[in-house]
Amino acid sequence: MSKLASAYGLKPRLAIILAIATFATSLLTTACQETTPPKTQTSSTDGNASPATSGGSDGLKLGTLTPSTGDLASIGQAFPPAVKLAVEQVNACGGVNGKPVTLVVEDDQTDPNAGAAGMTKLAEVDKVAGVVGSFASSVSTAALPIAVRNKVMMISPGSTSPVFTEQAKKGGFQGFWARTAPPDTYQARALAKLASEKGFKRVATAVINNDYGVGFEREFTTAFEKLGGTVVNKDKPTRYDPKATTFDTEAASAFSGKPEAVAAVLYAETGSLLLKAAYQQGLAEGVTVMLTDGVYSPDFPEQVGKTGDGKYLLGGAIGTVPGANGKGLEEFTKTWKEKTNKEVTAYVPHSYDAAALLMLAAEAAKSNTGEGIKSKIREVSASPGTEVTDLCQAMELVRKGEDINYQGASGNVDIDENGDVIGDYDTWAVETDGKLKVTGKVSPET
């Protein structure tokens, strides 16, 4: 250090600062040298990444940004295989614009920071034109500005916060945003309608403190009050931190006030801890738990746990989830089971349809860019045009220059000017053996 000071005629303190800066610069240089862009990868049927067959430098490149780990992993692990299925089908019948489509899979970890990093990689390193994702509304909120800045078309299979509609109306996304699942403006009304149909007059809310939870809570409260109900904790709503590790206080807050039911808008991993705390404290006895899409997973009752005599704590809980009722659902379900040997779970059809729309729009635009996809996304998803459910048939019609109205597995996927679709909702219940059962449908109209 004294030699450095002598060489530059510096005082010792300044020499120390210069040495630290030089060392930091060398580390940064080394780090940059070690972050060589990875080879393009495509998802395998289990959601992991594997080498892709390249479509050439000018072929369409898509990405997924969905949760394979973290709070929503139990639902999100099935999304990349659904996207891959669509890509494989299109590649088998000619690809997009004469080239095979390649797919890059990124795990957003159900974390906004990881999601932003993943979108940065997809947009700026992998140079994708479109992304299926994210699932968590908070992650999509973090990733969207990066997608828009890089002109990447983003279609979420399940980010349902009403905030996106509000921002789209203000021109915030420049058209680079859409979703194949309806916004919670509608699901909140559907859950309120279900609560009213069950005869509940006094309901409390407990929600994850992010765009998804808070947006849902507000819409639910408004809808339930219009139906003559009372939200007992309206003035002091229970909103839990997704990074918390204990939830005793939140459980006590939500289940106090003698509600007949608690509308719990949760993510699976942390939500299970909150509900378990409520049951362990004896707070949930005689209270119906009402759940939503964020925990609609066969694993969730097991996560919440059982009583000492082996009964599932969640037995009797009810909920809502965006339904899949598209004209293409039957054929998709058959193909999905053949390919994966698994049942179709929540948002899997929505993921498939998101990928289908990205590829159809690119073909219609004769362009493998995000701007090209954006310009045709509504055109291929809605009337006028020939209604078509088979993806390869749809691609063939588009190649011939014909107008199509793609009918998806999740629904009609008629995307409006705000990037939204209007769906309907399945009602479901947790049976005594812990299995989830679809019990009917409920309209969001109040």
CATH, residue 358: 3.40.50.2300
Judgement on whether residues 172 and 246 belong to the same structural domain of the protein: no
CB atoms within 10 A of CB 166: 14
* Residue 418 included in any domain: no
Domain presence at residue 338: no
State the alpha helices, DSSP H only, in 201-267.
211-226, 248-255
Render each residue's pLDDT in the chain as its tens digit; 446 residues.
333 333 333 334 334 333 433 333 333 333 333 333 333 333 333 333 333 333 335 799 999 999 999 999 999 999 999 999 999 999 999 999 999 999 999 999 999 999 999 999 999 999 999 999 999 999 999 999 999 999 999 999 999 998 999 999 999 999 999 999 999 888 999 999 999 999 999 999 999 999 899 999 999 999 999 999 999 999 999 999 999 989 999 999 999 989 999 999 999 999 999 999 999 999 999 999 999 999 999 999 999 999 988 999 999 999 999 989 899 999 999 999 999 999 999 999 999 999 999 999 999 999 999 999 999 999 999 999 999 999 999 999 999 999 999 999 999 999 999 999 987 799 999 999 999 999 999 877 64
For residue 58, what pLDDT is reported? 78
Cα–Cα dist 108/218, whole Å: 27
Q: What pLDDT is attached to residue 7? A: 33
- Does 130 share its domain with 214? no
In this structure, are 209 and 352 located in the same domain? no
Give how far Cα 255 sits from Cα of 186, 197, 275, 276, Å.
25, 21, 10, 12
Residue with tokens 């738990």: 289
Is 67 among the domain residues?
A: yes
Closest to 394 measured CA to CA, from 409, 406, 412: 406
- Do 127 and 173 lie in a common domain? yes
User: Is the Cα torsion angle 434, 438, 444, 445 positive or negative in sign?
Assistant: negative
428 and 302 inside one domain? yes
Q: What is the residue range of 66's domain?
A: 41-181+347-406
Examine the domain organization and report whether 370 and 310 are in the same domain.
no
415 within some domain? no
- The letter for the amino acid at 174 is Q
Read off φ and ψ for residue 71, nearest 5 degrees.
-60, -30
Residue 61 covered by a domain: yes
The pLDDT score that the predictor gives to residue 311 is: 92
193 & 279 share domain: yes
Domain count, the chain: 3
Q: Which residues pair with 65 in a beta bridge?
A: 106, 133
Looking at this protein, which amino acid is placed at residue 340?
T
CA distance 217 to 137: 14
- Determine the Cα–Cα distance for residues 8 and 22; give it in Å rounded to an integer: 14
30 neighbors 49 (Cβ within 8 angstroms):
no
Q: Please report whether residue 413 resides in a domain.
A: no
368 touches 60 (CB < 8 A): yes
Q: Do 349 and 324 form a contact (C-beta atoms < 8 A)?
A: yes
Residues 230 and 140 grouped into a single domain: no
Same domain? For 156 and 250 the reply is no
Residue 154, CA atoms < 13 Å, CB-side half-sphere: 35
* 416 located within any domain: no
Same domain assignment for residues 194 and 212: yes
Tokens of residue 32, six digits = 């940059």
Is residue 301 in some structural domain?
yes
Q: What is the DSSP string of 22-89?
A: HHHHHHHHHHHHT-PPPPPEEE-TTS-EEE-----TTS-EEEEEE-SSSTTHHHHTTHHHHHHHHHHH
CA distance 1 to 3: 5
Is 208 in a helix, a strand, or coil?
strand
Instruction: Give the pLDDT confidence score for residue 422 in this predicted structure.
Output: 81
304 and 431 in a common domain: yes
Distance of CA 238 to the CA centre of its chain: 23
> In terms of domains, do 284 and 377 share one?
no
Tokens matching residue 38: 């990875």
